[in-house]
Amino acid sequence: MNTKFKLYPRWLASIALAGACLTAFGLVSAQVPALYAGADLALGEKLIADNQCAACHQKRVGGDGSAMYRPGERVTNLGALRGMVEACNMQLNLGLFPEEVTSIAAVLNRDHYRFK
């Protein structure tokens, strides 16, 4: 019996598990572009909820607030997206740290913009 084929599923499972662990600990993420490296998506999601971003957007554009996210208009790239989050931070005096702004921008990119 050829042991090479017996070990293959275990080897493949080990690689998949290692990749999942690296992603879970924020060391590797397919969802975060290089410009946002180190962004904490869970923190970004929490900050969006805690600061009631959707409610503010609903007041400004109506509906569910998603009309605020229009890729290609005011926000055309990852840097501009982060800049818009920073503008909200400054205008609303949220007191977010730079890494928190980046985490929020990474979530918005993942969920709405999908810039590479």
Q: Are 36 and 102 in contact (CB under 8 A)?
A: yes
Q: What are 92-99's contacts with CB under 8 Å, separation 24+?
A: 92/51, 92/56, 94/51, 96/47, 99/38, 99/39, 99/40
Domain ranges across the chain: 1-30, 34-113
Rounded mean pLDDT of 84-104?
A: 97
How far apart are alpha carbons 86 and 48 in whole angstroms? Answer: 13
Q: What is the pLDDT of residue 21?
A: 47
The fraction of the chain above a pLDDT of 90, given in percent, is 56
pLDDT at 33 over 50: yes
Name the pLDDT band for 66 (thresholds 50, 70, 90): confident
Rounded mean pLDDT of 3-9?
A: 46
Q: Pull the structure tokens for residue 57.
A: 């957007």
Q: Are 69 and 108 in contact (CB under 8 A)?
A: yes
